[in-house]
Structure 1
Amino acid sequence: MLVNKIYKITLFLLGLVYILLQGFGMELQGAVIATVTLVLLTLFYSKSTKYISKFFLSFLVIFTLAESINAVYWFLPAVDDNKIDYLYYISNILFIISYLVLIYKMIRQLNLKVVFSELTIPIIVLIALDIFCVSLISSTTVETLTYQQYLLEYIYNAVVMALLSFALIDYMYRNNSKSMLFLLGCIFMTFSEIIQLAYFYILTDDNLGFVYSFFLVVAFFFFYMQSQYKVTEPELAYEDEAFKIEKT
């Protein structure tokens, strides 16, 4: 349909503009463009998708709301150091909730008994890696954040890493195109979050603005692509299929 093509072209152009704005340090304008883009993406998904997931739609709505609060934040006066920055906490909590919605979406579609019996060792390894990575990443902000902000950032990073881990488990369990696209989206989202943290709290290299915004746009591209597939039962891996044929 012509309307869908116009939507896609508009979203592509807005994504490109967002990357450029963030890369050149125009964060106010970038935040506004990001909000507009997410609103259009949410509307496009709800109107054009055949297999609508209420959980993925909820993720888009909550993430968009969090991003819109970030945009509003730039139009308000700076908060004094001795006062609580409520918008900071609200927006970050909303981002956390949006990621938790995606995690819950995956968990409810998994056969946990099969997953834990077949993927015990990978799960243990992922848990150990998550704890190490979250502690390492969060430690970089100890000197720049208050205890409450650091705790929130730690939880935020833990949820992001959990999202990536569950996406990997989901892919190993399902072995299909939808889970692969979702995993790719989570990988780019995780890198975007890590680089964004470095951009705001550690390094002053403006090139990081290009990188994290590009990764964010690519992440949502893969998220949208996977949303066009229907959830199906796990597919046999090549080795399992060959073993089954030989057995029969």
Structure 2
Amino acid sequence: MNKILKVVLLLLGGLFIVLQGFAFEAEGSAISALMLVLLTFLYCRWTVNKTKYFFWFLVFFTIAQLVSFYANYIPELKNEEIDYVYYIANIFYIISYSFLTIKIVMDLNLKKVFSELSIPIIILVVLDIFCVTLVTDTTQSVLSYEEYILEFVYNAVIMLLLSVALINYMYRNDKKSMLFLIGSICIVFSEIIQLTYFYILDDNNLGFIYSFLLVMAFLFFYLQSQLDFTGPEPEPVYKDEKQLET
């Protein structure tokens, strides 16, 4: 049953990429919601060391996808009408990514991390502010003030997730943290390309790319969820060799 479910998820992932690539948004949203329900079941049923934070990440992301699916069937909004579905879906996405970020932060020795990686953390904060501002400003002409603020918060949460994943990998240097970092990178690039696809450049190739990256992100997130942290790993051997030579 476990293996069959994994094969089904892979097939659905391929179908989702094709549907999104050919701009079948409603069908793609339905398939992605089904995938997430099955993935959540797979995680809860067969994962040995489950965490509530990863579980709630899956739950809220699934709800967000269901809301996005529902958005395809509501009447087109008239001028100055508030798109409540847009706000609800994005708030659920923000909550889901927040749970994923909290999951990593809770497992870190923050005092030790800040003492050992203070300079990288400062650099990441500066880069995050720059990237979030730059990316969000590309939508300024097509979004209302309230939508722009929500988009800014959304992008900030995404970049925070990536930064925490990078810090976690620098601190632990193990397979689980590496898989989580790769998944986070896929999420960030998927979101940036999706934003470009929706608001800037209507190119079906972008639909293929962002949906492929999203599927890969969840693949890596699931793989890391099956492992335990083994880090922090010791410093690389070549440093000790240099010390011996001197």
TM-score range, shorter chain: over 0.9
State how far apart, in whole Å, the 2-side matches of 1:79 and 1:42 are: 33
- 1:27 matched to which residue of 2? 25
- 2:229 matched to which residue of 1? 231
Superposition map of 1:234-245 within 5 A:
234-239=232-237, 242=240
- 2:172 matched to which residue of 1? 174
State how far apart, in whole Å, the 2-side matches of 1:105 and 1:134 are: 22
- 2:90 matched to which residue of 1? 92
Q: What is the DSSP-based 3-state SS (H/G/I as helix, E as strand, rest coil) of the residue aligned with 1:237?
A: coil
State TM-score, norm by structure 1: 0.95
Listed one character per residue, the Cα deviations across residues 142-167 of structure 1 (whole Å, up to 9, x for unaligned) are 00000000000000001000000000
State how far apart, in whole Å, the 2-side matches of 1:213 and 1:122 are: 31
Q: Which amino acid aligns with 2:189?
A: F
State how far apart, in whole Å, the 2-side matches of 1:55 and 1:32 are: 24
TM-superposed deviation, 1:231 = 3.2
- 1:217 matched to which residue of 2? 215
Unmatched tracts of structure 2, length 5 or more: none
State how far apart, in whole Å, the 1-side matches of 2:70 and 2:200 are: 24
State how far apart, in whole Å, the 1-side matches of 2:129 and 2:99 are: 21
Q: Which amino acid aligns with 1:146?
A: S
State how far apart, in whole Å, the 2-side matches of 1:237 and 1:220 are: 30
- 1:65 matched to which residue of 2? 63
State TM-score, norm by structure 2: 0.96
Please state if 1:48 is matched with 2:46. yes
Listed one character per residue, the Cα deviations across residues 54-105 of structure 1 (whole Å, up to 9, x for unaligned) are 1101100010011110001111112223111111101100100111111111
- 1:105 matched to which residue of 2? 103
Q: Is the 8 A contact 1:175 1:237 kept in 2?
A: no
TM-superposed deviation, 1:204 = 1.1
Please state if 1:183 is matched with 2:186. no
Please state if 1:118 is matched with 2:116. yes
Query: How many residues of Structure 1 are paired with residues of Structure 2 in the alignment?
Result: 243
- 1:161 matched to which residue of 2? 159
TM-superposed deviation, 1:240 = 8.3
Q: Which amino acid aligns with 1:161?
A: M
State how far apart, in whole Å, the 1-side matches of 2:134 and 2:231 are: 37
- 1:205 matched to which residue of 2? 203
Q: Is the 8 A contact 2:13 2:215 kept in 1?
A: yes
Q: Which moved more, 1:224-233 or 1:94-103?
A: 224-233
TM-superposed deviation, 1:230 = 1.7
Q: What is the DSSP-based 3-state SS (H/G/I as helix, E as strand, rest coil) of the residue aligned with 1:76?
A: coil
TM-superposed deviation, 1:114 = 0.8
Unmatched tracts of structure 1, length 5 or more: none
Q: What is the DSSP-based 3-state SS (H/G/I as helix, E as strand, rest coil) of the residue aligned with 2:23?
A: coil
State how far apart, in whole Å, the 2-side matches of 1:170 and 1:94 are: 24
State how far apart, in whole Å, the 2-side matches of 1:168 and 1:19 are: 27
Instruction: Say what the alpha-carbon RMSD is for the aligned residues.
Output: 1.4
Listed one character per residue, the Cα deviations across residues 23-73 of structure 1 (whole Å, up to 9, x for unaligned) are 011111101101001111111111011111111011000100111100011
- 1:38 matched to which residue of 2? 36
TM-superposed deviation, 1:209 = 0.2
Q: Is the 8 A contact 1:46 1:52 kept in 2?
A: yes
State how far apart, in whole Å, the 2-side matches of 1:237 and 1:77 are: 59
- 2:6 matched to which residue of 1? 8
Runs of 4+ in 1 over 4 A off after TM superposition: none
Q: What is the DSSP-based 3-state SS (H/G/I as helix, E as strand, rest coil) of the residue aligned with 2:108?
A: coil
TM-superposed deviation, 1:239 = 3.8
Q: Is the 8 A contact 2:29 2:69 kept in 1?
A: yes
